[in-house]
Structure 1
Amino acid sequence: MTRSNDTIRVLIPLKLRKKNGRPKIMPPTDYSPSEDQTQDPHILRAIGRAWGWRRRMEAGEFATIQELAEAVGLAERHVSRQLRLAYLAPEVLKRLTCGREASAVSLYDLCFLAGETWQEQAERAFHDISAEL
């Protein structure tokens, strides 16, 4: 147990700035992110959203992509394209979300990989990275 006069202070040198009207925490100027954090937050967010949409459609909440698009307030074309991310190969999803590997293709191109075989998906999504190793 600690006594009432025992105090632990933790100082974290952060700055608060407003960006687009919202507060944003800024790291110290000498901070450099580690190289193992190469995940693209946009890709992670898109994959999570696609899986959520897939679950809702499989549960019968929506019968068509058009109904889903109207419900989430996005264009049907955008929802249709992003929904494909939920059908990527398990190995590709694992490497993108857990393996901390950056994709060699953009989020837009990643959406079109679902039509490929699982082996081709992995080769195309990570071709630059595999060649460097």
Structure 2
Amino acid sequence: MTKPNDTIRVLIPLTVRKKNGRPKILPPADYRPSEDQAQDPHILRAIGRAWGWRRRMDAGEFATIQELAEAVGLAERHVSRQLRLAYLSPELLKRLTCGREASVVSLYDLCFLAGETWQEQAERVFRA
């Protein structure tokens, strides 16, 4: 049992680095994340944003991607690229958002898969 005057020190070997201008805590080199943390928050956020944009365009709020880009304050090219995420296969979206599978492609590469068949999309993203 500890006394009220005792001090307990806990040392956790973490490194803080800046990534995209924000501080990011890096775990030790031998750390292996659990399967529960396989989802990439950047991909989840981009998919959510793309679906929001798609709904707004389908509702007639914006007639063109250029109008949408101006409204959200982003470059037209960026909006155009990320809007493609809303047109990925339903199975792929389910595996990316609800499943615990890690994608083997980057967010940038994922944006260009919408033009492929649904079977090819899953094969490229998860190497199934």
| Common fold by TM > 0.5 | yes
Distance 1:56 1:68 in 2: 9
* 2:35 and 2:100 in contact (8 A); partners too: no
Distance 1:35 1:92 in 2: 18
Distance 1:117 1:35 in 2: 28
Q: CA deviation at 1:32?
A: 7.2
Superposed CA RMSD in Å reads 2.6
Counterpart check, 1:45 vs 2:45: yes
5+ residue gaps, structure 2, are 1-17
* 2:95 and 2:101 in contact (8 A); partners too: yes
5+ residue gaps, structure 1, are 1-18
Kindly provide the amino acid, as one letter, of the partner of residue 56 in structure 1: R
TM-score, normalised to structure 1, is: 0.72
Distance 1:113 1:32 in 2: 29
Q: Any runs of at least 4 consecutive aligned residues in structure 1 with deviations exceeding 6 A, and if so which?
A: none
TM-score, normalised to structure 2, is: 0.75
How many residues are paired up? 110
Aligned residue in 1 for 2:108: 108
